[in-house]
């Protein structure tokens, strides 16, 4: 039997209309929107369906919205393929919270509350310090580490063997980009983001998140959930909580996480949530991997049919 992992989208994958047809087709998905609306205190379903994109993109809306739509994709998958067995879950940054929810670590309502607060804290941290991020393609790790040491920026995301994202003070990010180009990078792209995610500039958000998590109960995962911070499965509930605070300022070890899955026999990945970014990254890490992506009714039906073969 194939070993399968489910992975969940991160911030940046949002689009107007996400979740709308799933909610119309599956009452279980509409119920998740209704439960999220009660927590958020406004009609999140309508915001996702109608936009505007500027409102969806605000971190305190975006993070719970992507979580809810990703949870809907996973719920619909489980409904249509109840016998599906998975070997673990993972998610990119925000998506790691969805991975924890899918593994039974957190309740749906608690996850919505946490992500609304996390988004608010991260937006505030962005406004406190002018930060930025740059994606660098085709530069070896020793060169990237040298650039970080010279400029004072940090490696934020190890997305694939070819792509690494740097994060830090805005002026230093521009300096880092020039050094990367001079060192022979194949391509550099300054990202359109609110601030320096996964860097020390997010420290105030991490402190506030730690306080917000004090009364939240974390359960033992039902399947391995790979941590962004270590690239290895999470441990006991209290250590999960600590790791999720640390995640705000730490590098995302996505490559290591997918390599762990590969070493443990996972050959197929199901991406749940808006966009197909993770499928693209996984293919660059494990060229032999089989990939399914679910973000609406059409891709859900296609994925279920493929998985049942």
CA angle 105, 209, 200 (to 5 degrees): 115
CA atoms within 13 A on the CB side of 82: 1
Q: Give phi and psi for 161, each to the nearest 5.
A: -60, -25
Task: Name 189's bridge partners.
Answer: 135
Among the listed residues 198, 199, 234, 251, the single catalytic one is 198
Taking each continuous run of H as one helix and of E as one strand, the counts in the chain are 14, 8
Task: Name 91's bridge partners.
Answer: 8
Examine the residue annotation and report whether 234 is marked as an active-site residue of this protein: no
Question: Using an 8 Å Cβ cutoff, are 67 and 99 in contact?
Answer: no
Q: Name, in order, each residue with C-beta under 8 angstroms of 70's C-beta and a sequence gap of 6 or more.
A: 8, 9, 91, 95, 98, 272, 273, 274
- The residue ranges of DSSP E strands in 3-51, in sequence order, are 3-8
Among the listed residues 59, 93, 250, 293, the single catalytic one is 93
Examine the residue annotation and report whether 93 is marked as an active-site residue of this protein: yes
Task: Name 294's bridge partners.
Answer: 272
Q: Which ranges of 152-202 does DSSP label H, i.e. alpha helix?
A: 170-182
Task: Name 281's bridge partners.
Answer: none
What length is written for the chain? 309
Q: How far is CA 254 from CA 58, 82, 258, 291, in A?
A: 24, 28, 6, 16
Q: Quote the CA–CA distance of 139 and 157 in Å, as a whole number.
A: 14
Per DSSP, the three-state class of 131 is strand
Burial status of residue 230 (CB atoms within 10 A of its CB: 0-12, 13-18, 19 or more): middle
What residues are annotated to the active site? 93, 198
């Amino acid at each position: 039997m194939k070993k399968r992992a489910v992975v969940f989208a991160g911030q940046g994958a949002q689009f107007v209309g996400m979740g709308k047809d799933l909610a119309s087709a599956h009452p279980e998905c509409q119920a998740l929107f209704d439960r999220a609306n009660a927590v958020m205190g406004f009609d999140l379903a309508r915001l996702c369906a109608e936009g505007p994109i500027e409102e969806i993109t605000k971190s305190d809306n975006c993070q719970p919205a992507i979580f809810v739509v990703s949870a809907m994709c996973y719920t619909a998958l489980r409904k249509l393929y109840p016998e599906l067995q998975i070997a673990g879950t993972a998610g990119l940054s925000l998506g790691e919270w969805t991975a924890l929810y899918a593994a039974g670590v957190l309740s749906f309502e608690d996850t919505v509350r946490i992500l609304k607060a996390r988004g608010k804290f991260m937006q505030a941290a962005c406004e406190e310090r002018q930060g930025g991020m740059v994606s660098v393609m085709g530069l070896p790790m020793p060169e990237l580490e040298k650039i970080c040491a010279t400029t004072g920026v940090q490696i934020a995301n190890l997305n694939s063997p070819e792509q690494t994202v740097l994060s830090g003070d805005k002026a230093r990010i521009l300096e880092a980009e020039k050094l990367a180009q001079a060192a022979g990078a194949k391509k550099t792209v300054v990202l359109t983001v609110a601030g320096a995610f996964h860097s020390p500039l997010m420290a105030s958000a991490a402190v506030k998140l730690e306080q917000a998590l004090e009364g939240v109960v974390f359960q033992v995962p039902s399947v391995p959930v790979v941590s962004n911070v270590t690239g290895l499965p999470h441990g006991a509930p209290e250590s999960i909580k600590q790791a999720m605070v640390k995640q705000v300022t730490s590098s995302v070890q996505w490559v290591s996480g997918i390599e762990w899955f590969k070493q443990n026999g996972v050959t197929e990945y199901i991406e749940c949530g808006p966009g197909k970014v993770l499928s693209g990254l996984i293919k660059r890490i494990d060229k032999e991997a089989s990939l399914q992506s679910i973000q609406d009714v059409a891709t859900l039906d296609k994925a279920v049919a493929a998985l049942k073969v």
